[in-house]
Chains A and B, each alone.
Chain A
């Protein structure tokens, strides 16, 4: 759970991401509530940034119970939009996916230090996911990060 907490913290404290959400949301919306850990609650305003864990892998040595183990969490940030159905490439709603993807990447540069109470060793951008669309006009894309963390430096 540590990697997702780190990425959520970085996104929720990034002025560019927050400004983008304000611009794309209803006036007066509490946009920090649109950066969600785990699962999206039905009815949550869109666009939504969903931060979830794909997997977390500890680095084990022969002696497994050594203190301060290094973990590598794969964290996925999914951007969810409710747009008109069949938004073609090049349309405004579609280009929003690319815009937020770049902002999310810029908001989570690799760094070392304590973030959200977790000692972060590094943050590595991984792959960007496919574009998905749902029956209800939902359009989404995701981006992965590899967050390496331990309990202490």
Chain B
């Protein structure tokens, strides 16, 4: 596989989770053989993740407005998947939601690029029921460190 040079969809991206944390928060640390990632089944949505900082504003009585940047945040949001209690990856997600610990998520894009995330899971909620609706699980994840991205080979 080669890195994409055209627009690419997320279709066929895979998501895996591990309770293990890397010794160093870099590509080598996350790729260590001591970390075993378990695939999360039937993921239908994954939140927008990436660095952002609040733009703080100071308005002086005279002179130009001054801006400073706030603390970086790497994002949080809801990962959604079809509810499968026996899925090994979802079992870990559920445990993560009940744990105070950080977890590691590995996202593999179709072209082979990988993104590692240091996350906390804050929820594991079953969706509202109605006739014909698919039972979905929503897990709120917060990313605590800068994502580690490994470019496609």
Chain A residues at the B interface, C-beta cutoff of 8 Å = 59, 61-66, 70, 124, 146
Residue contact B44 to A124, C-beta cutoff 8 Å: no
Residue contact B46 to A61, C-beta cutoff 8 Å: no
Known: A61-B81, A61-B82. A66 touches B132 (CB 8 A): no
Chain B residues at the A interface, C-beta cutoff of 8 Å = 10-15, 41-46, 81-82, 131-132, 134
Complex Cα distance A146/B131, Å? 12
Number of residue pairs across A and B with beta carbons under 8 Å?
A: 31
Residue contact B44 to A62, C-beta cutoff 8 Å: yes
In the A-B complex, the 4 residue pairs with the smallest Cβ-Cβ separation, listed nearest first, are A61-B42, A61-B44, A62-B43, A62-B13
Residue contact B12 to A63, C-beta cutoff 8 Å: yes
Set of chain A residues within 8 Å of B42, measured between Cβ atoms: 61, 63, 66
The chain B residue with its CB closest to the CB of A70 is B134
Set of chain A residues within 8 Å of B41, measured between Cβ atoms: 66
Residue contact B10 to A62, C-beta cutoff 8 Å: yes
The chain B residue with its CB closest to the CB of A146 is B132
Residue contact B13 to A63, C-beta cutoff 8 Å: yes
26 contacts between A and B (CB under 8 A): A59-B134, A61-B42, A61-B44, A61-B81, A61-B82, A62-B12, A62-B13, A62-B15, A62-B43, A62-B44, A62-B45, A62-B46, A63-B12, A63-B13, A63-B14, A63-B42, A63-B43, A64-B11, A64-B12, A65-B12, A66-B41, A66-B42, A70-B134, A124-B131, A124-B132, A146-B132
